[in-house]
Structure 1
Amino acid sequence: MALLARRVVQLYAGLALYGLGIALQVSSGLGNDPWDVLHQGLSRRFGLSIGVWIVITGALVLLAWIPLRQRPGVGTLSNVVLVGVFTDLFLWLLPDPHALAARWTYLVAAVLVGGFATGCYIGAGLGAGPRDGLTTGLAARGHSIRVVRTAIELSVLAAGWLLGGTVGVGTVLYAVTIGPLTHVLLPALTIAPKPVPASPADPSTPAPEPAVTR
């Protein structure tokens, strides 16, 4: 029970921090990550907040899991709803940075917070985010996960840019750093399941013979 509670707390802390990371990067005005270029572009073109568009696109992406036979977890459903909610909350709370130094501070903080948040919610092991699940689901059909992820992110980046989302140095910085950051942080933040104790061996059962390898 304690282990499950820890996983749940880490999941929701990670989702809150992920929303903070998005809000910091959007507020910096120096370029968003590809999905948030799309969310911001949709917000500017059609109204509604960035957070609402995060929820809407997350739900639509989740529908794409059905033909891919992906199964969402509680973390997946929480991701769809809460990242957008926390993004709007922090966009409202954060002071608007005017000086260039403040904008760069927001951007660097956004990347660091985003990497830590990604490790938190993935490490909790309660379900992948909708966009991650779409990538792995398509890759499971026989495609390279790197090719699938690149194709998806370039597509949403182009669509978001055409809709008016902000593309800039922050977009590039996020793209080149989030992978290495997650690679470093995820092992430290992954909560391993509690091992099931082995049942005592029956003394009447003969010991297995050693395996023979060729």
Structure 2
Amino acid sequence: MTTEGRTVPTPTPPHRPSAPTGPPARLPRRLLQLYGGLALYGVSCALLVVAGLGLEPWGVLHQGLADLTGLPIGAVTIAVGALVLLLWVPLRQRPGLGTVSNVVVIGLAMDATLFLLPDVGALGARIPLLVVAVGLNGVATGLYLAARFGPGPRDGLMTGLHRHTGRSIRLVRTALEVTVVAGGFLLGGTVGAGTVLYALTIGPLAQFFLRVFAVDSPPPPRAPVHDGADGRAILPR
């Protein structure tokens, strides 16, 4: 302001911390989403087994190993997840709560569901069961990914190999899934229409439900993982 021809600086009010512009991170909700999503994921995998029309790629391997060893498929899922997690060490990947929980919860939920569900013989019942299983898997994937507690061990292996080899996410993921499907099929795992349906629909389903279940408080910005083929960012599953 101006006083008697002189300019006097206007006093600056004391600094006050600005109020947060958005809602705080909701830890209880995130934890609920994480464990609810992982449990539903295990249920959906069990439904795919009961439908008997083809499993998701890693499920084919798990089923083949279960037939070979005589162990429950959920227990095999846990063992394979733990072994894959060990591969993170040379890749210098850091697991989160969601990563470790993924290893344990999915397999337990899968075996519990298979114990409770009866066998379904009629094709007219198995086809709707397959569709429900794939849809539920998409819901479950969106739930636990939106909780932002870290990727599953298999997703971390994929992104770690992408980073270390310089190959595109698309190529690394395709190579991994072809390898596990082929190995699982040779061991007796079920490959069929369900495998194809899962491969074609799980990406769009997971992307949709990831937006539906997004927590209000946004995660810290990070560089997207690029496919390398067309420059688009790829959302890991």
Asked if structure 1 preserves the Cα contact closer than 8 Å seen for 2:25 and 2:215, the reply is no
Which of residues 158, 164, 180 is equivalent to 1:135? 158
> Which residue pairs with 2:173 in the alignment?
149
Comparing both chains, which one has the higher relative contact order based on Cα–Cα distances under 8 Å and sequence gaps of 6 or more? 1
Q: Considering fraction of residues, name the structure with more helix.
A: 1
Query: 2 CA distance for matches of 1:139 and 1:84?
Result: 26
Rounded to whole Å, the distance in 1 between the matches of 2:173 and 2:27 is: 30
What TM-score do the two structures reach when normalised by structure 2? Answer: 0.80
- TM-superposed deviation, 1:187: 1.6
- 2:88 maps to which of 65, 68, 77: 65
Higher Cα Rg, which structure = 2
Q: C-alpha separation between the residues in 2 aligned to 1:48 and 1:192? A: 41
The count of residues paired between Structure 1 and Structure 2 equals: 196
What is the alpha-carbon distance in structure 2 between the residues aligned to residue 180 and residue 116 of structure 1? Answer: 11
Q: Contact 1:22–1:110 (CA<8 Å) still a contact in 2? A: yes
Report the alpha carbon displacement of residue 191 of structure 1 after superposing the two structures with TM: 1.6
1:188 aligns with 2:206: no
- Taking the aligned partners of 1:85 and 1:111, their CA distance within structure 2 comes to 19
| Equivalent residue for 1:14, pick from 34, 37, 42 | 37
Q: Does 1:176 align with 2:224?
A: no
**SS state at 1:140 partner:** helix
What secondary structure sits across from 2:143 in the alignment?
Answer: helix
Show structure 1 runs of 5+ residues with no match. Answer: 197-214
Query: Please, which runs of 5 or more residues in structure 2 have no aligned partner?
Result: 1-23, 221-237
C-alpha contact 2:33 2:144 (8 A) present in aligned 1: yes
1:99, distance to aligned residue in structure 2 (A):
1.1
Runs of 4+ in 1 over 6 A off after TM superposition: none
CA shift, 1:161, in A, is: 0.3
Query: How far apart, CA to CA, are the structure 1 residues paired with 2:29 and 2:171?
Result: 34
Distance 2:207 2:31 in 1: 22
Q: CA RMSD in A?
A: 1.5
Please tell me whether the aligned partners of residues 125 and 190 of structure 1 are also in contact (alpha carbons under 8 angstroms).
Answer: no
- Residue 182 of structure 1: CA displacement? 1.0
Distance, in Å, in 1 between the alignment partners of 2:206 and 2:115 is 27
TM-score scaled by length of structure 1: 0.88
- Segment of structure 1 superposing worse, 13-22 or 177-186: 177-186
CA contact (8 A) 2:25 2:217 kept: no
